[in-house]
Structure 1
């Protein structure tokens, strides 16, 4: 089992009990590798710096006890961001209707890279995406990596519903 899978299994229950969903764990880098933990609040609310700090402390304690990585590394805790990676089937269902790009493990219809609007996951467990030319269905197990594309529609859909401090409309002095 790869280090990443071991770490995912090790930390996911703790994050869930803290009210977070583990999005992705990645490990890599040069002379000082980075262990990146990407998480988000399970209730769909926004991620903040305090959340990252809480997760960092909890994960650090687990990693110190279990010690799954035998070399020096940097721990980085992040949110998935608005143009987030798409990892699970649920991600593709949740973000149906939004633009994404993804790569497949093998050639499908003569290509590996795709970009278009997510239709969803069909009954045959295929990710379906459509663009102005065609609709393509790729077996979910063949999706290598995927992410949402930053578009006006995505920004509008996930914009804060209440104005942020300082964003309130100014009063008209002539009124």
Structure 2
């Protein structure tokens, strides 16, 4: 089964399971690292997820994975929180994290750069609006956003 189809299939099953448990399904990754395959599922909830939350969700999704066996090769299942630098994948993520500082990487350059950091002002029409500094903002076509995540300075 192709990687993209595997991720989509797992997302389709994991989303209602997460929702029924009070979690948000943030992302699903199915990737090879070295000689091993990993199925990583990221969940979140208001106030953050605990290790117990991850274990409980892991048990539920593992029941589905065992029953349906959608992945032919062996793999390691990992369930975790998206972390402090949480990826923003859906328009609702940008809405949820309005006025937070984010990093955005673009598919193609805009005004000479493929990377921007600024305060998220949400998606307006077809564009993501970022405040770069007090006097400068930029509108990025949403379809040009390759990746976006919360910015956290250590």
Partner of 1:119: 121
Note the 1:1-175 alignment, pairs <5 A. Answer: 2-28=5-31, 29-41=33-45, 44-122=46-124, 124-132=125-133, 134-151=136-153
How far does residue 151 in structure 1 lie from its aligned partner after superposition? 4.5
TM-score with structure 1 length normalisation?
Answer: 0.78
How far does residue 97 in structure 1 lie from its aligned partner after superposition? 1.5
Aligned to 2:36, what secondary structure does the other structure show?
A: coil
How far does residue 83 in structure 1 lie from its aligned partner after superposition? 2.2
RMSD: 1.7
How far does residue 71 in structure 1 lie from its aligned partner after superposition? 0.8
- Structure 1 stretches of 4+ with a deviation exceeding 4 A read none
How far does residue 79 in structure 1 lie from its aligned partner after superposition? 0.7
Give the count of matched residue pairs.
149
Distance 1:15 1:111 in 2: 37
Distance 1:98 1:14 in 2: 29
Aligned to 1:71, what secondary structure does the other structure show?
A: coil
Larger Cα-atom Rg: 1
How far does residue 111 in structure 1 lie from its aligned partner after superposition? 2.0
How far does residue 134 in structure 1 lie from its aligned partner after superposition? 3.2
Aligned to 1:87, what secondary structure does the other structure show?
A: coil
How far does residue 75 in structure 1 lie from its aligned partner after superposition? 0.6
- The structure with the greater share of residues assigned to strand is 2
TM-score with structure 2 length normalisation?
Answer: 0.88
Distance 1:102 1:67 in 2: 36
Aligned to 1:121, what secondary structure does the other structure show?
A: strand
Distance 2:25 2:130 in 1: 25
Structure 2: tracts of 5 or more residues without a match: none
Conserved 8 A contact 1:116-1:131: yes
Deviations 1:129-172 (A, max 9, x none): 121373221222221111111149xxxxxxxxxxxxxxxxxxxx
Aligned to 2:104, what secondary structure does the other structure show?
A: strand
